[in-house]
Structures are given as structure tokens and as C-alpha cells.
Amino acid sequence: MSKVLISYFSKSGNTEKMAEYIKEGLDSLGDVDVDLKKVQDTTIKDLRSSDGIIIGSPTYFGVMAREVKALMDKSIQCYGKLVGKVGGAFTSSGMIGGGNETTIMSILQGLLIHGMIVQGVQKGNHYGPVSVGAPNEEVRDECMEYGKMIGALVKRLERGGRPEISN
């Protein structure tokens, strides 16, 4: 069974709610094991044992929160071991021009450097779900759809097998 980790930091509860919605989307697929964890509780073993990793952060000055950056810094311990896994990101912010896309891109940049495969979004927020303020029904739907998309990609890659790349 495919395994997806959703790791997030949330101060106001908005990013946590988005993580729960993404989990709902993944759970709706039925055959994906989903691990929902705060970044502070996420271990290197969690990263290495997951087929997909979705990271969420509030937008702080246009980049990820310090707590999420700490996880990204810690992930250097498994450099070369995340190649071919599926990655994704999401964020919440206080305003529409608050740096939402740059926050998501700062997370995706780390995942891409690890050699991960990133699922883009054709409709909606192209880099991953964004909530301005508390998540509304539209954000809920986008998060659930994002979870389904990530889960479907993870399952498709598992069926075909991820390439093993040695460093």
C-alpha cells in the first residue's frame, strides 16, 4: 500500500485545517496510508518511509515558517534517498498578495533538490493549495482534489516502479 506523509506547521489552525482536507482527499482513494504530522514531530524515518510527501506552512515574509525550514534543513540527512518520491506543498496567509506562491515555491525548491517529482495543478492555484485567511469551501475542495491528485500519482508510480538512482 502506498504511503503519503502530510507534514505541516500551523499557528492559527488554518494550515492544519488545510492538511486535514488534503488528508480527506487522500483517504477517499481508499488504498493510501496517510500519515498526518506536525513538522516538529516529523522524523527522517517518516520522510524515507513515505512514497509521497506534502508539506504545508503559513506564509511568513513570503517564505516557509522557521519550523518548516528546520525540517527541510534536517532532511539533508536523507539526501539522495527521496529521489523519485512525489512531493507537494500548500500554504495559508493573511492576505492575497502576502507571498503565497513564493512560500510554496520555497518548499517545492527543497523537494526538487531532493530529486522528488512535483505534481502541478492545472486549475486553481497552480503550485499547490492556498488559503487566504481561514479555509473556505473553495479551499476545502481544492485541498481535497490536491490530495487525490498526489495520491493518484503516488499509486501510478508505485505500479510502474520508481527508478533507483544511486548517488
State whether residue 25 is helix, strand or coil.
helix
- Residue 125 is predicted with a pLDDT of 87
- Residue 164 Cα distances to 81, 101, 136, angstroms: 9, 31, 40
**130, 96 Cβ separation under 8 angstroms:** no
Q: Which domains does the chain have, with CATH numbers?
A: 2-160 (3.40.50.360)
- Residue 124 is predicted with a pLDDT of 81
Tens digits of residue pLDDT in 79-119: 999 999 999 999 999 988 889 999 999 999 999 999 999 98
Residues forming beta bridges with residue 37, ordered by sequence position: 7
Q: State which residues of the chain have pLDDT below 50.
A: 167
pTM of the model: 0.94
- Residue 35 is predicted with a pLDDT of 97
Amino acid at 55: I
Q: What angle do CA 107, 112, 117 make, to 5 degrees?
A: 110
- Residue 159 is predicted with a pLDDT of 83
Residue among 82, 90, 72, 99 nearest 135 (CA):
90
- Residue 164 is predicted with a pLDDT of 58
Number of Cβ atoms within 10 Å of the Cβ of 3: 16
